[in-house]
Amino acid sequence: MLAENINFGFKPVNTMLVITILGLVCWCFVLWCESKKDGFNTLKFFDLIFTSTLLSGVAFYLLSKLIGWYVIFKPSNPLLRLDRELLFGFIVLVLSVVPIFFYTRKWKWSAFRILDIYSLGFSIILMFLSAGKFLIYSQKEYLILFILLLTLYLFVFRYRGYRLMSGLIFSIFLTFLAVVGSVLFRKDGYLLFYLILVTMSVSNLYLRGKKTMARTLIPDNFVAGLKQKLIKKERSLEKTQQQLVREDPYLQQGRDTDNAEVMDEVTEDTGKSITDARMGIVKKIRIQVKRALTAIKLGKYGICEVCGKSIDRARLTAYPEAMTCISCATDISQMEEVRE
Contact footprint for Zn ion (CB under 5 A): 304, 306-307, 325, 328
Query: Which one, 49 or 306, has the nearer CB to Zn ion?
Result: 306
Query: Which one, 124 or 325, has the nearer CB to Zn ion?
Result: 325
Query: Which one, 237 or 306, has the nearer CB to Zn ion?
Result: 306
| Rounded least distance, CB 101 to Zn ion, Å | 18
Buried b (16+ CB within 10 A) or exposed e, 224-246: eebbeebeebbeebeebeeebee
Query: Which one, 127 or 304, has the nearer CB to Zn ion?
Result: 304
Three state DSSP letters for the chain: CCCCEEECCCCEEEHHHHHHHHHHHHHHHHHHHHHHHCCCCHHHHHHHHHHHHHHHHHHHHHHHHHHHHHHHHCCCCHHHHCCHHHHHHHHHHHHHHHHHHHHHHHHCCCHHHHHHHHHHHHHHHHHHHHHHHHHHHCCHHHHHHHHHHHHHHHHCHHHECCCECCCHHHHHHHHHHHHHHHHHCCCCCHHHHHHHHHHHHHHHHHHHHHHHHHCCCCCHHHHHHHHHHHHHHHHHHHHHHHHHHHHCHHHCCCHHHHCCCHHHHHHHHHHHHHHHHHHHHHHHHHHHHHHHHHHHHHCCCCECCCCCCECCHHHHHHCCCCCCCHHHHHHHHHHHHHHC
Q: Judge whether 161 and 40 are in contact, CB under 8 Å.
A: no
Query: Which one, 214 or 260, has the nearer CB to Zn ion?
Result: 214
Query: Which one, 112 or 173, has the nearer CB to Zn ion?
Result: 112
| Rounded least distance, CB 309 to Zn ion, Å | 5
| Rounded least distance, CB 91 to Zn ion, Å | 32
| Rounded least distance, CB 313 to Zn ion, Å | 14
| Rounded least distance, CB 39 to Zn ion, Å | 9
| Rounded least distance, CB 92 to Zn ion, Å | 30
Query: Which one, 94 or 332, has the nearer CB to Zn ion?
Result: 332
| Rounded least distance, CB 326 to Zn ion, Å | 8
Query: Which one, 42 or 123, has the nearer CB to Zn ion?
Result: 42
| Rounded least distance, CB 146 to Zn ion, Å | 37
